[in-house]
Amino acid sequence: MNTPDMNERVTRRNLLRNLGLGVAAFTARPLNRVMAAAGEPLHQPPTEFTLPPLPYADNALEPHLDARTMEIHYGKHHQAYVNSLNAALKGHANLLSKPIEQLLKNLNDVPEKLRTPVRNFGGGHYNHVFYWNCMKANGGGEPAGDLAKAIKKKFGSVIAFKQLFSATATRHFGSGWGWLVKNRKGDLAVVSTPNQDCPLSHGQIPLLTVDVWEHAYYLHYQNRRSDFVAAWWNVVNWDAVAAEFGRQ
């Protein structure tokens, strides 16, 4: 027979157990799914990646990067990477809800069958977003402040850095990217990556990039990649590069 004391112990045990389950359920939920206030709808995590708007008009970088190339590059090529990434990750909400930077930084944690699509399509998405933001209308000139000091300390001068960067990007075999990065030691380095590989996947922090896939320049420059890279310096957004340098 259950006594009042026994009933009280059972009730208290059930209450504690239920509270424990409630806390576990709450802490297991992503914070972005918790209502901000009573009566507000739940904010669902992203169900797919999207193409962010360009930070300028298609023709803003002329005459160095022509409007038609920008239109095709952004609206067709970049969009295709976003579409392909979403298709590859369809049904994997845990991956779709993560920032692309996190997926690329921890590529080995991505399931093996999805690793190549994330490297190719996710890298293509991230690299292009980064590239667009490395440029602006009426850009160019030279870096200033702490960024300029760091470049001069590492490469001897801004001119020497630009020469190395241009040579690395121009001589990269096949399709890929030229980068200024911070390496694992925190030092500046100039590197190139093939295809859509991203420095994040190699433990490096991107600061500046130029796209040397042919679709980035062929309509205007044909096979003259060196001319494209030389012209590209006129649209570099040094403010954005300096902000990235200071943030890291």
For position 5, what pLDDT does the model report? 46
SS3 248: coil
> 108 with 83, same domain?
yes
The pTM assigned to this predicted structure is: 0.81
For position 16, what pLDDT does the model report? 35
> 183 with 93, same domain?
no
Containing domain of residue 206, as a range?
145-247
Contact between 176 and 237 (Cβ < 8 Å): no
Task: Tell me the pLDDT tens digit for each residue of 35-83.
Answer: 233 333 434 455 799 999 999 999 999 999 999 999 999 999 999 999 9
> 80 with 153, same domain?
no
> 124 with 195, same domain?
no
Task: Tell me the pLDDT tens digit for each residue of 133-190.
Answer: 999 999 999 999 999 999 999 999 999 999 999 999 999 999 999 999 999 899 999 9
Work out whether the CA dihedral 115, 121, 123, 125 comes out positive or negative.
negative
For position 46, what pLDDT does the model report? 58
Residue 9 pLDDT > 80: no
> 203 with 177, same domain?
yes
Residue 175 lies in a domain: yes
Residue 123 lies in a domain: yes
> 151 with 122, same domain?
no
Residue 181 lies in a domain: yes
Q: Examine the fold and report which residue of 106, 133, 160 is the final residue of a domain before the chain moves on.
A: 133
**Radius of gyration of the CA atoms of the chain, in A:** 24
**Following CA atoms 238, 214, 194, 52 in sequence, which dihedral angle do they give, to the nearest 10 degrees?**
50
Contact between 130 and 225 (Cβ < 8 Å): no
> 89 with 180, same domain?
no
**What is the number of domains present in the chain?**
2
Q: Examine the fold and report which residue of 101, 133, 165 is the final residue of a domain before the chain moves on.
A: 133
Residue 45 lies in a domain: no
Residue whose tokens read 């920008």: 70
User: Interior CA angle at 163 toward 162 and 167, to 5°?
Assistant: 115
Contact between 193 and 179 (Cβ < 8 Å): yes
> 211 with 242, same domain?
yes
Q: Which two tokens stand for residue 165?
A: 């960067």
> 160 with 220, same domain?
yes
CATH number of the domain where residue 161 is located: 3.55.40.20
pLDDT confidence of 31, banded at 50, 70, 90? very low
For position 247, what pLDDT does the model report? 85
Average pLDDT, integer, range 28-33: 27
> 165 with 228, same domain?
yes
Q: Which residues contact 94 (CB under 8 A, 6 or more apart)?
A: none
Task: Tell me the pLDDT tens digit for each residue of 94-137.
Answer: 999 999 999 999 999 999 999 999 999 999 999 999 999 999 99
SS3 42: coil
Q: Examine the fold and report which residue of 133, 167, 190 is the final residue of a domain before the chain moves on.
A: 133
> 207 with 152, same domain?
yes
> 205 with 121, same domain?
no
Residue 85 lies in a domain: yes
For residue 134, count other CB atoms closer than 10 A to its CB.
23
Encoded amino acid at 85, one letter: L
Q: Which residues contact 148 (CB under 8 A, 6 or more apart)?
A: 142, 158
To the nearest 5 percent, what fractions of the chain are helix, strand and coil? 55, 10, 35
Residue whose tokens read 């990065």: 181
Tell me which residue of 246, 216, 196 sits closest to 81, measured CA to CA: 196
Contact between 99 and 198 (Cβ < 8 Å): no
